[in-house]
């Protein structure tokens, strides 16, 4: 089966610094795939390249059968690629509802459909429904993360790129993020998950890529890595 997303041998630079040295990976339709590695090895840059925020200098990215490397981020969002950055980037002065509507006000989405999407997300995130008129900047870190994911869901994406969604969160919130990933999976939304939380990544994903110094060094089924964690120790030091 043709993958939804295929990244082939991409190279990226920040100035003269060579960050990605030929990253290749695939994500199937509705599949949850993990991307693990120590800090600074290129995980977030990989997501930014897919989302159109960093343009590869070589290699190609194919999404839903279409080459997309070099396209601007807003066009990729319209194609069905949603990106939730590590720093969330919600609008702190806007209410929860106003934040969500930034993902709804797009061509072809009628008033009734907008309300359906809002109702659906509020059913998944009851805490956001309770505080829908509260400014985003007054939410806790975990609540802001929920809002960032909920806003991405407003785009009705085919894939969501999640960058460190549990960083700095309390265990209760980490568990809720895990549940959200499962909801996305059940809805047929693919997820490419960058995380430092190894147990969560192995539990949530079907396959995992391990990155070191801008290169994929290992690729395996999550079940295989759970059964024998020597590779995780080698590349994560945990």
Per-residue pLDDT of the chain (238 residues; tens, 9 = 90+): 789 999 999 999 998 899 999 999 999 999 999 999 988 899 999 999 999 999 999 999 999 999 999 899 999 998 999 999 987 788 999 999 999 988 787 777 788 888 888 998 899 889 999 999 999 999 988 889 889 999 999 899 999 999 999 888 888 888 888 998 999 999 999 999 999 899 999 999 999 999 998 999 999 999 999 887 888 888 786 5
pLDDT at 230 (0 to 100): 84
Q: SS3 of 59, please?
A: strand
Choose among 31, 24, 37, 33: nearest CA to 231: 37
What domains can be seen in the chain, in order of their start residue?
1-80+173-238 (3.40.50.300), 87-156 (no CATH)
Could you give the CA distance from residue 46 to residue 169 in angstroms, rounded to a whole number? 23
pLDDT at 234 (0 to 100): 82
pLDDT at 25 (0 to 100): 97
pLDDT at 238 (0 to 100): 58
Q: SS3 of 24, please?
A: strand
pLDDT at 176 (0 to 100): 86
Residue 238 CB partners (closer than 8 Å, separation 6+): 198, 232
Residue 67: phi and psi, rounded to 5, are -65, 130
What pTM did the predictor assign? 0.92
């Amino acid at each position: 089966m043709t993958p939804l997303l295929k990244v082939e041998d991409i190279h990226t630079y920040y100035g003269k610094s060579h960050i990605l040295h030929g990253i290749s990976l695939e994500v199937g339709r509705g599949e949850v795939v993990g991307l693990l590695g120590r800090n600074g090895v290129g995980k977030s840059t990989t997501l930014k390249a897919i989302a159109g925020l960093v343009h590869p200098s070589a290699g190609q990215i194919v999404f839903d059968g279409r080459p997309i490397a070099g396209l601007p981020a807003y066009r990729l969002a319209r194609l069905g690629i949603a990106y939730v950055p590590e720093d969330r980037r919600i609008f702190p002065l806007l209410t929860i509802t106003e934040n969500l509507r930034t993902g709804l006000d797009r061509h072809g989405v009628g008033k009734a459909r907008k309300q359906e999407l809002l109702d659906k997300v509020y059913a998944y995130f009851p805490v956001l429904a309770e505080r829908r008129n509260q400014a985003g900047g007054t939410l806790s870190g975990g609540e802001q993360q929920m809002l960032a994911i909920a806003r991405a869901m407003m785009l009705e994406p085919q894939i969501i790129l999640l960058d460190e969604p549990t960083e700095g969160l309390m265990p209760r919130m980490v568990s809720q993020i895990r549940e959200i990933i499962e909801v996305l999976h059940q809805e047929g939304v693919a997820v490419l998950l960058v995380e430092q939380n190894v147990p969560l990544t192995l539990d949530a994903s079907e396959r995992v890529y391990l990155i070191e110094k801008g290169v994929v060094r290992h690729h395996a089924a999550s079940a295989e890595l759970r059964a024998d964690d020597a590779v995780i120790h080698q590349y994560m030091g945990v």
